Structure 1
Amino acid sequence: MRMLLNIRIPHEPFNTLVRNGTIGDVMEKILAEMKPEAAYFTEQNGTRGAILVVDLAEPSQIPAFAEPWFLMLNADCEFRVVMAPEDLRKAGLGALGSKWQ
């Protein structure tokens, strides 16, 4: 199941990791473990953030994707199910529209 993982990273401990030069290693380790389909880094409400697209085979994998961010960076994580255009085509919207008129 394709998920959008929205991550909000507080200033600490991120600032400390930047100052001591270890943030690159931390981020590389997390991303290497997760293997996201896509990863984007951005500002969110005045703090650092990231938006990742990840593929979960089952919901029990959520902790494996969230805990590194929680434990290493004190981050907040939100998961949202997302669809690619081909997924939306398979949704049967025409039949649903007819059924619920």
Structure 2
Amino acid sequence: MRMMLRMVIDATDGSDAIQSGAMQRAIGALVEKLKPEAVYFSTEDGMRAGYIVFDMTSANQQVEIGEPLFDLGCEVHLTPCMTPDELQAGFAAAGR
């Protein structure tokens, strides 16, 4: 299932993790493991944020994705998401 991972990185913990290189290693490993279709970085409510769209093949991936990010002080949010074509197919299946 296509998922969007949204991570919001605590300013203080994030700065420490960037200085030590832990953030770069964690994000690099995550991107390598997930082989995402899209990865973006921005700010959210004054904090560092990242967005990764990927295919989740098993619910237990939530643990292997979340734990390294929790260790860095990140908030982690996983949300199913759709392409426009999938949305249209959903409307059709719902009789809309």
SS state of the match for residue 33, structure 2? helix
Larger radius of gyration: 1
The 3 A distance-change label for structure 1 pair 80 and 23 is closer
How far residue 77 of structure 1 moved from its aligned partner, in angstroms, is 1.0
Corresponding residue for residue 36 of structure 1 = 36
CA distance in 1, matches of 2:61, 2:21: 30
TM-score by length of 2: 0.80
Q: Which amino acid aligns with 2:37?
A: E
Residues 63-85 of structure 1, C-alpha deviations (whole Å, 9 max, x = no match): 222222112x1111111111112
TM-score by length of 1: 0.77
Q: Which amino acid aligns with 2:9?
A: I
Alignment coverage as a number of residue pairs: 96
- Farther off after superposition, 85-94 or 48-57: 85-94
Corresponding residue for residue 61 of structure 2 = 61
CA distance in 1, matches of 2:45, 2:74: 13
* Unaligned 5+ runs, structure 2: none
* Unaligned 5+ runs, structure 1: none
Structure 1 stretches of 4+ with a deviation exceeding 4 A read none
